[in-house]
């Protein structure tokens, strides 16, 4: 259903974590985490986008802090987690195992609300399908199922390039014409090569392309964030690493696995004009998981911070808190 643009909810006030730390998850990786809100509240875990995007202080503000115990963390290789931008032992299923370790060793809860947007929606589905008994509810934004058509939409001519042809030309610029038949592979060579100057140039071009298409209207601050070296290198290297391997999923795996979610309450918040993860994936997921509430935001793009999308997410967390 299309959500009307009535009085909209926004982020809860700024709040600091009551506890932070690093969890050694093995394989040489240490994950930065933070707990915010009410230590005795309803447990929730936030799965950020990217992969490689890292968390932000605004992420924890999507829940009522009096009602929720909120765990936010940086996935392998990004944000404050170490080693920075590492691709070693960095797969979807490593991250799924990490979430379980955070549940038992950090949050120390039996079950929790699983919340994720963009790549975080992919990871939420992967986690909840492996551990359905651990999810009290699932809240998703900007559905990405990691099927081939979605990768092609982003990184081949004929998808988002048809809407942003000028920005796609900028994305093509670092790659010689002879290598443009497989842009993911062409970028992989540069992002994993030894030339740090070329790596940064490729990382900023890769990340800027995403920044260009994630908002409904142009946003200079979004582009500045996506192209800052400390963000761009982690986002580009890790995203590219996942795209080159189809996220370690079989084609159609997450849709087929949706039957494991039957009986788990869920909400999907999807921007109608999301040109990063178009609404067709959310529609397919709704048909595979009929119980989920699908809210399509008429004036929404991809980012969680866009007014209509944020309104839908905060309403969902409030709903499951009984507000």
- The catalytic residue positions are 118, 274, 302
* Phi, psi torsion values for 51, nearest 5 degrees: -65, 145
Asked if 232 and 203 count as a contact pair (C-beta separation under 8 A), the reply is yes
Q: How many CA atoms lie within 13 A of 196 on its CB side?
A: 1
Element (H, E) at 119: helix 119-130
Asked if 243 and 255 count as a contact pair (C-beta separation under 8 A), the reply is no
**Alpha-carbon distance 280 to 164, whole Å?**
19
Asked if 311 and 319 count as a contact pair (C-beta separation under 8 A), the reply is no
What residues does 117 pair with on adjacent strands? 141
Mind giving me the DSSP string for 18-44? SEEEEEEEETTEEEEEEEEE-TTSEEE
Instruction: Return the closest-CA partner of residue 306 out of 264, 266, 267, 271.
Output: 271
Instruction: Return the closest-CA partner of residue 207 out of 154, 260, 148.
Output: 154
* Phi, psi torsion values for 141, nearest 5 degrees: -135, 145
Asked if 278 and 222 count as a contact pair (C-beta separation under 8 A), the reply is no
Cβ neighbours of 158 (radius 10 Å): 8
């Amino acid at each position: 259903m299309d959500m009307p643009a009535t009085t909209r909810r926004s982020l809860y006030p700024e709040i600091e974590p009551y506890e932070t730390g690093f969890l050694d998850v093995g394989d040489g990786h240490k994950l930065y985490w933070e707990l915010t809100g009410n230590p005795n509240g309803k447990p929730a875990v936030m799965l950020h986008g990217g992969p490689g995007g890292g968390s932000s202080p605004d992420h924890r503000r999507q829940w009522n802090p009096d009602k929720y115990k909120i765990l936010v963390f940086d996935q392998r290789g990004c944000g404050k987690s170490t080693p920075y931008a590492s691709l070693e032992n960095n797969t979807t299923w490593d991250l799924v195992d990490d979430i379980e370790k955070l549940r038992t060793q950090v949050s120390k809860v039996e079950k929790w609300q699983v919340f994720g947007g963009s790549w975080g929606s992919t990871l939420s589905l992967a986690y909840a399908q492996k551990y359905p008994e651990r999810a009290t509810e699932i809240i998703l934004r900007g559905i990405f199922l990691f099927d081939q058509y979605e990768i092609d939409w982003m990184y081949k001519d004929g998808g988002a390039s048809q809407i942003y042809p000028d920005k796609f030309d900028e994305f093509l610029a670092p790659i010689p014409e002879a290598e443009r038949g497989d842009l993911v592979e062409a970028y992989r060579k540069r992002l994993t090569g030894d030339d740090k100057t070329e790596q940064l140039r490729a990382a900023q071009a890769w990340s800027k392309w995403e920044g260009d298409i994630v908002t409904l209207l142009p946003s200079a601050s979004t582009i500045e964030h996506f192209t800052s070296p400390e963000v761009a290198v982690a986002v580009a290297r890790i995203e590219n690493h996942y795209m080159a391997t189809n996220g370690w999923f079989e084609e159609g795996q997450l849709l087929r696995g949706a039957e494991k979610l039957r009986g788990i309450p869920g909400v999907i918040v999807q921007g109608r004009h999301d040109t990063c993860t178009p609404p067709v994936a959310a529609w397919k997921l709704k048909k595979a998981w009929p119980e989920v509430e699908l809210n399509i935001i008429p004036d929404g793009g991809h980012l969680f911070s866009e007014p209509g999308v944020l309104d839908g997410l905060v309403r969902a967390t409030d709903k499951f808190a009984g507000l």
